[in-house]
Amino acid sequence: MHRDPLLTVEHLTMRFGGLTAVDDLSFEVRRGDITALIGPNGAGKTTVFNCVTGFYRPSAGRLVLSSGERFDAAAVDALTKSGRRYSRQDGLFLLERMPDQEIAREARVARTFQNIRLFTGMTVLENLMVGEHNPLMRASGYSLFGLFGLPQYRKREAQALDHARTWLERIELTARADDPAGALPYGAQRRLEIARAMMSEPTLLCLDEPAAGLNPRESAELNELLRDIRDERGTSILLIEHDMSVVMQISDHVVVLDYGEKIADGRPDEIRNDARVIAAYLGVEDEGEVEEVEAALAAGQAR
């Protein structure tokens, strides 16, 4: 089945001084897919992420987020020529032109971080509420209605609270809703960060190594959570992952990077047998990683 791409990365290049971290990279994230971005350490995965989410401004290339049903190439070109950053009515966003907060707010791209970035001194519930900040802020009349306690805002807040409750249940943290996020165990912090990003109801969710540091049971739970997000919420996912079992089990599409360039792009079973991918991974010096890859490949084949 062919689906139109949600995110199109065209000729993305990112240079830091003399170092080219990402070189002429093109790939697509299709709507409703879980797309994995993999590659050895230092391949430039996080740099791609930071470009997509606006934390870095790419040196060259075009990043199109098309949230409408169909990808309209003519409209994209028109928008590119117009010099505007995005067109809300066409659902088209040129991410390379937009700053990070605008990408999150307008293009509805949410992300998590490799080193978890929770609001540690705020409660689990507060973290989730901040995730829904923008609609709440509008409902509070930019604080004016809220200041006088008007019912309009109170209703909207109750609604947000319900939304938070469903996520609390989904990530099994209802009992700890009023505990500070910094006091949660590591795995729960990872889940909370994903739920916080989901509170903003994104069209694209970017996850930077969501399974890092999780034990096998937590990792399995994460897989289930991500599948739910894809299937029930209809949110497309772009993720960076080192854990090959996660990648092979849940992703619909895999893009492999090495030294800032794309070396393979396809379904997990295609990637598994790709000679260049195996070479790239076996070429690394890290013995542990090689074993991990081989084991994962074997596990994949056995199923």
Question: How far apart are CB 177 and other proteins at their closest, in Å?
Answer: 5
- Closest residue by Cα to residue 255 from 1, 52, 117, 112: 52
State which residue, 78 or 150, has the beta carbon closest to other proteins: 150
Q: Which residues bind other proteins (CB under 8 A)?
A: 16, 46, 50, 53, 55-56, 100-106, 110-113, 117-123, 125-126, 129-131, 133-134, 136-137, 140, 142-143, 146-147, 153, 161, 165, 168, 174, 177-180, 182-183, 196-197, 200
State which residue, 148 or 275, has the beta carbon closest to other proteins: 148
State which residue, 106 or 289, has the beta carbon closest to other proteins: 106
| 23 in Cβ contact with 260 (< 8 Å) | yes
Question: How far apart are CB 239 and other proteins at their closest, in Å?
Answer: 15
Q: Based on the number of CB atoms within 10 Å of its own CB, is 18 exposed (0-12), middle (13-18) or buried (19 or more)? A: exposed
| 8 in Cβ contact with 227 (< 8 Å) | no
Question: How far apart are CB 93 and other proteins at their closest, in Å?
Answer: 13
Measure the CA angle with vertex 19, ends 266 and 276; round to 5°. Answer: 30
Q: Count of residues for the chain?
A: 303
Q: CA dist 17 to 116, 127, 259, Å?
A: 28, 37, 16
Question: How far apart are CB 107 and other proteins at their closest, in Å?
Answer: 9
Q: Based on the number of CB atoms within 10 Å of its own CB, is 103 exposed (0-12), middle (13-18) or buried (19 or more)? A: buried
State which residue, 136 or 278, has the beta carbon closest to other proteins: 136
State which residue, 147 or 279, has the beta carbon closest to other proteins: 147
Question: How far apart are CB 217 and other proteins at their closest, in Å?
Answer: 26
